[in-house]
Chain A
Amino acid sequence: MNTAAPALEISGLTKSFGTTRALEEVDLVVESGTVHCVLGENGAGKSTLCHVVGGSVAPDAGGLRLYGSPYAPRRPADALAAGIAMVHQHFSLVPTLTVGENMRLLRLRDLPRRVARVREEYGLELDLDARVSELPVGVRQRTEIVKALLREPRLLVLDEPTGVLGPAGTDALLATCRRIAESGHAVVLVTHKLGEVARAGDAATVLRGGRVSGGGPLAELPPERLVPLMIGRPAGSLDAGLAGTIGLAADGDSPEAGASGSGKTRAGGPEPAGRALAVGTAEPGGRAEPGGKAAARVTQALRLRDVSVRRADGTSALDEVSLDVGYGEIVGIAGVEGNGQSELMALLGGSLAPVAGRVELDGRDLTRAAPRERSRAGLGVVPEDRLHEGCVPQLRVADNLFLGRLDRFRRHGVLLDRRAMDRAADSVLTGHGIRADGPGALMSSLSGGNQQKVVLARELALDPLICLAAAQPTRGLDIGAVGAVHSRIRDAAAAGTGVLVVSSELSELLVLCDRITVAYRGKLLGPVDPAEPDARERIGALMLGARASRPGPENTGHTPEALR
């Protein structure tokens, strides 16, 4: 092995799918001992690039060199044999097996030693006896990364690894990346979050529309220069929410740099007070007091009282949780995944019944209502797993939009008036800026962002819409889609709908919400007013169950500060 040669050298890589050019003349050099970030919006070609490196997609033209020697994988096994480990966005874990059993599937020699080594070297702890299907998404991701590290790869490729992680998980992952790089290997980190790039990367290559739009050592590429490369317009044109989700304001290092001059106002609605927004730009005078005004009304849009939920294995997922969402209020739930957020969403969606407590919508008891009663009563739910719970990928977009309201389109008894349906769908597509090949396109042919917009559009179309609960509404979406989703959520709140947003993206919550509570071990802690100057630090501390002002592992022992 020639150590002077770069870990990975890609030159002139071109790949088309049908008429779409996914990659065009892409050049990329990853030096060994570095973390190289590949940046770009959805559809920029990042995933295709990963697939080519991983051997699952053959390029049309161009070549790869790995540590100086020619590398032309024809199947994923070739990549593994060459010492490349991939972690894809979609997990490759068998859900019915335990973590340990999944690792044994790799058929590696001295597995216990390797596991111990990964634990020691990278501080990645795992419960080997836990069943994968029962693990929260964040832990599955960690398992996936440990699996990749067990092979002791020379090059680790991570495709959007932090999308499912909370801030602490992201920190740990980025630290892991650094450690791998420092041990002399190379890491390719594919992401669209600039905050991560700034913190963990040594160099970056930016893709836009399948071409390299720029790149170089990060010392010469501050976020302000990366943003225009990614999206083709200057950073100043971004709204605070957008800036937040791509990580400009995300990571606390330089909060004021990101949310420059951004503010948002709401048009009308029961609570028209403008809020002071984004990190570090709080003005005490402009702060709203959502609790006060909402409490003056007799009922809340959504009210949870002492709700307890158990998981299938009998452990407590939600422990006497109470929560109010006022009309027109946006309440955020932050927290590391696996602290009861998924169960909270399942509870609201009606797929999980509480063992105790009460759920009220607009003063009406919905504790044990079936999903369809909930949507009729005006509770819209955008589930976290939109592909498996939110839509039917094999049906058309129009079918998905109106699945719950097919009666509206009956003609001659049972026949569907598909033309009317398509017309109605078309106006939804236009109104929500959903990019699809018409209302007749299969849902599965849409990008993740557009699928999300369809699910959101369907739930927003509920009449009446008293409360909207959305989990990870912008996970995996590109910047344009994030902006659209955020403005839809704000519009709904402006029209008087109570909104509950569960997100692992703290920056998103900070710019979107009137009030943020933190899920921690089945309790909701807080609330924190996002306009407070130290909101980020306080939330970070609450995520670790502490009341301390600064986050850190040393605080985990402190007494949780329970909400109500």
Chain B
Amino acid sequence: MSAVVEELVSGGVRLAVPLLLASSGELLSERAGVLNLSVEGMMLTGAFAGATGALASGNAGVGVLAALAAGLLFAALQALLSVVLRADQIVTGITANVLALGATTYGSRVFFGDGAADSVPGFDPIPVPGLHSVPVLGPALFEQTALGYAAFAVAAVLALGFSRRTSWGLAVDAIGEDATTADRCGLPVRAVRFAAVLLTGAVSGLAGAQLALSEVHAFSDNITGGIGYLAVVAVIAGRWRAWPTLVACLFFGVAQSLQFAAPALGLHLSAPLLTTLPYVIALLAVSGLVGRSRAPSGLTVPFLRGA
């Protein structure tokens, strides 16, 4: 049984890493008042660009850079639509996701022929000497790939650098709660929102690279399969605060790994049914939190001076 628990925890943390990356960006973006539903599309684009870059150059590092660039570009489009042109954030987000799915599926036909790229150069786990042999936590935390460790660092920097105890974090909250007041106080509302979306794009691109280059070393159609949406849900479940969002990410990670551990636990469900499990759990978790959370007042409200 303990082997199952260990597998569940270490698998959960591994699966939580891309979630954590994307959520840490999404959290910032939502606190600034922009709902980025397009995290899913950003991740998918990042995964595709990462796989293509790594495969073309034979170097996983180049793949990571490609994923970053793709995520940023995708985010720039989203920011242009939702921040500058003040388009509806939900509509643009969903549309962007559909666009990303179509474009990457088409792209993989063009680049990988049959729609899947196997044996992409990727990252291998680097166990931290000593620490990785700690029971349960060791394999979970200290047997990550370089990208995984980088993800922890990025998430930590974002959470701490933009906490409400920093001037940046406070400015972000003011802009997300009440853009008009923030503007009157001289805070650069649009610039901050634009930057927050770009940042979400960058970390989501990284999250995509994590999926394609650390997890499986391969790209397949719709490799994200809704993880980007889970990242958005994690922010909601985390009630727009950093630590609870981290907990939500880990929880959803474990929920995902449950599908792999199910046979060992004696759960014999069909595979497609098992893949829906994390989403069912996410739904239950979020509905249990209804009424206890409060979104930033300015979430999804575009800012226009004098409007």
Q: Which residues of A contact B (CB under 8 A)?
A: 346, 349-353, 370-372, 375-376, 381, 383, 388-395, 399, 403-404, 406-407, 409-410, 414-416, 418, 458
Contact = CB atoms under 8 A, between A and B. Distances in A.
Given A371-B183, A414-B166, A351 B306 contact: yes
Contacts of B167: 406-407, 409-410, 414-416
Contacts of A407: 167
B171 A406 contact: yes
A530 B85 CA distance: 48
Interface stretch (B184-192, B245-253, B280-288): B184-192
Contacts of B165: 415-416, 418
Contact of B180 (A352, A376, A389, A418): A389
A399 B174 contact: yes
Contacts of A350: 184, 305
A10 to B, nearest CB: 32
B182 A394 contact: no
A259 to B, nearest CB: 36
Contacts, number: 85
B186 A372 contact: yes
A522 to B, nearest CB: 17
B185 A375 contact: yes
Nearest to B296: A394
B185 to A, nearest CB: 4
B54 to A, nearest CB: 34
Contact of B177 (A353, A392, A404): A392
Contacts of A393: 177-178
A416 B183 CA distance: 20
B187 A404 contact: yes
Interface residue SS majority, chain B: helix
A353 B306 contact: yes
25 contacts: A349-B184, A352-B306, A370-B305, A371-B184, A371-B186, A372-B184, A372-B186, A388-B178, A388-B180, A388-B181, A389-B184, A391-B178, A392-B181, A393-B177, A395-B177, A403-B171, A403-B187, A404-B186, A406-B167, A406-B170, A406-B171, A414-B161, A415-B166, A416-B167, A458-B185
Given A351-B305, A416-B167, 16 more contacts: A371-B183, A371-B305, A372-B183, A372-B187, A388-B181, A389-B180, A392-B173, A392-B177, A392-B178, A392-B181, A393-B177, A394-B177, A395-B173, A403-B182, A403-B185, A406-B170
Nearest to B162: A414
Contacts of B171: 403, 406
B105 interface: no
Contacts of B177: 392-395
Nearest to B179: A392
Contacts of A376: 186
A325 B66 CA distance: 59
A2 B112 CA distance: 87
A418 B178 CA distance: 21
Contacts of B92: none
A414 B186 contact: no
Nearest to B161: A414
Contacts of A410: 167
B275 interface: no
B111 interface: no
Most chain B beta carbons < 10 A, residue from A353, A409, A416: A416
A428 to B, nearest CB: 15
A368 to B, nearest CB: 11
B297 interface: yes
Given A399-B170, A414-B166, A390 B306 contact: no
Most chain A beta carbons < 10 A, residue from B166, B177, B185, B187: B185
A404 B167 CA distance: 10
Contacts of B161: 414
Contact of B297 (A372, A394, A406, A418): A394
B168 interface: yes
Contacts of B181: 388-392, 403
Contacts of B183: 351, 371-372
Contact of A394 (B166, B168, B173, B184): B173
A399 B187 CA distance: 13
Nearest to A351: B306
- Ranked 5 nearest A-B pairs via Cβ: A372-B186, A351-B306, A404-B185, A406-B167, A403-B185
A423 to B, nearest CB: 16
Contacts of B170: 395, 399, 403, 406, 416
Contacts of B297: 394
A418 to B, nearest CB: 6
B94 to A, nearest CB: 23
Given A371-B183, A403-B185, A414-B168, A392 B174 contact: yes
A409 B180 CA distance: 23
B264 to A, nearest CB: 46
Contacts of A372: 183-187
A92 to B, nearest CB: 19
A376 to B, nearest CB: 7
Nearest to A394: B177
A395 B306 contact: no
Contacts of A351: 180, 183, 305-306
Contacts of A458: 185
Most chain B beta carbons < 10 A, residue from A351, A372, A403, A410: A403
Contacts of B306: 346, 351-353
Most chain B beta carbons < 10 A, residue from A351, A371, A389: A371
Contacts of A381: 184
A322 to B, nearest CB: 22
A383 B183 CA distance: 13
Nearest to B186: A372
Nearest to A406: B167
A353 B307 CA distance: 12
B192 to A, nearest CB: 13
B182 A392 contact: yes
Contacts of B185: 372, 375, 403-404, 458
A407 B168 CA distance: 10
B219 to A, nearest CB: 37
Contacts of B184: 349-350, 371-372, 375, 381, 383, 389-390, 404
Most chain B beta carbons < 10 A, residue from A375, A383, A394: A394
B188 to A, nearest CB: 8
A395 B171 CA distance: 10
